[in-house]
Amino acid sequence: MADLLAVGATALELTPPDDERLETATELSVSVTGPASNAAIAASRLGTASAWLSKLSDDALGRRVAGELRRHGVEPAVCWDEGRQGLSFVERATTPRDDGRIDDRAGAAVASLMPDDLPALDLQGAETLFTSGATLALSDTLAGTVEELFAAFDGRTALALSRSRTLDSSVARIESMLSTTNVLLASEAGAAALGEDGTPPEAAHALAAAHDLDTVVLADSGGDALVWHERTVHEHDPPDTETVDERGAFDALCGGFLGRRIAGDSVNEALAAGVACRALARTVPGPVPLVTPEEVDDTIAMMDGERSGRR
């Protein structure tokens, strides 16, 4: 039985090597990535029994997605159907260029996911149900299904908001979802989309009060993060790292935090694990958070040492 259920869309991401442009690339690497599945992978790699709920195209591309999830210990609890597998084409860049991204997800099987499509799962046996703003933005049908799952779930519900390009079109849906959400995990862009652009502690307090949230996690672009819980704020700074790839890093924070909360850690301890997961994910090429429990614990110890040295 899974303790973490992550529902959402996952794409096959095609990327040229190094910083090559898509328009001149002669080869592309393939990754399996999505906010929900990435978070589930991070949690699974830390020891949390995790399942990913979705709909996949019944073909080789859909099987590629399911196989990658299984490889990292995540159960693909999916419906197989007609439709196509969503794709994303990504090119890496350095300053002054930003990374480029072209999404090709029209007609993706997951966009038509209905509650009755999901395999028989003991939803109430799980501890946490997680999704992301990117999932809500994909289609009204998918968003409605996720809303229905959140409303019926008896455990902890968690929503992540990170990707600014998906937020503007789905703010109304997100605000509706927050009425059934216990834990909000947001980037600076996610908080700003909800109208909160003050200091992180101020934004966390405001979001919790406005939406009756139990817990708010806010992460900035530099890797710092805080958690608001029971009117108390805890903050953690990441260790110094050389960023190899930013993709999947915020998802790793979400998975690390939720996984450690499921394991019984305090919100402060879970945030430290999430920040460590994010820092480690940045050091690995590709969007999948390939972290280990030992690396996370060592990174937390490094963070604690750096904090002591600053006192």
- What is the pLDDT at residue 164? 64
257-271: pLDDT as tens digits? 999 999 999 999 999
CB 241 within 8 A of CB 279: yes
Given a contact cutoff of 8 angstroms between Cβ atoms, the answer to whether 35 and 135 are in contact is: yes
Instruction: Say whether 251 is catalytic.
Output: yes
How many domains is the chain built from? 1
**End-to-end CA separation in angstroms for the chain:** 44
User: What's the confidence (pLDDT) of residue 197?
Assistant: 82
Contacts of 71 (CB under 8 A, 6+ apart): none
User: Can you give the CATH number for the domain in which 68 is found?
Assistant: 3.40.1190.20
Q: What is the pLDDT of residues 100-133, one digit of tens each?
A: 899 999 999 999 999 999 876 667 789 999 999 9
Residue 311 is predicted with a pLDDT of 44
Q: What is the arrangement of strands in the sheet containing 50-57, beginning at the earlier edge strand? A: 74-81, 50-57, 4-7, 128-132, 156-161, 183-187, 215-219, 225-229, 232-236
| Bridge partners (DSSP) listed for residue 165 | none
pLDDT of residue 122: 63
Please provide the size of the chain in residues.
311
What is the pLDDT, as a whole number, of residue 96?
A: 86
List the catalytic residue out of 98, 99, 154, 251.
251
Domain that holds residue 293: 4-310
Gap between the Cα atoms of 153 and 78, Å rounded = 18
The reported pTM is: 0.94
Q: In order along the chain (311 residues), what is the average pLDDT of each group of 10 residues?
A: 95 93 95 97 98 97 98 96 94 84 93 88 84 94 96 96 76 92 96 90 96 97 93 95 92 98 98 98 95 97 72 44
Q: What is the DSSP string of 191-218?
A: HHHTT--S-HHHHHHHHHHHHT-SEEEE
The closest alpha carbon to 196, from 186, 187, 206, belongs to 206
In Å, what is the CA distance from 268 to each residue of 63, 87, 142, 148, 249? Answer: 38, 37, 33, 31, 19
Angle between helix 267-281 and helix 249-262 axes, rounded to 10 deg: 150
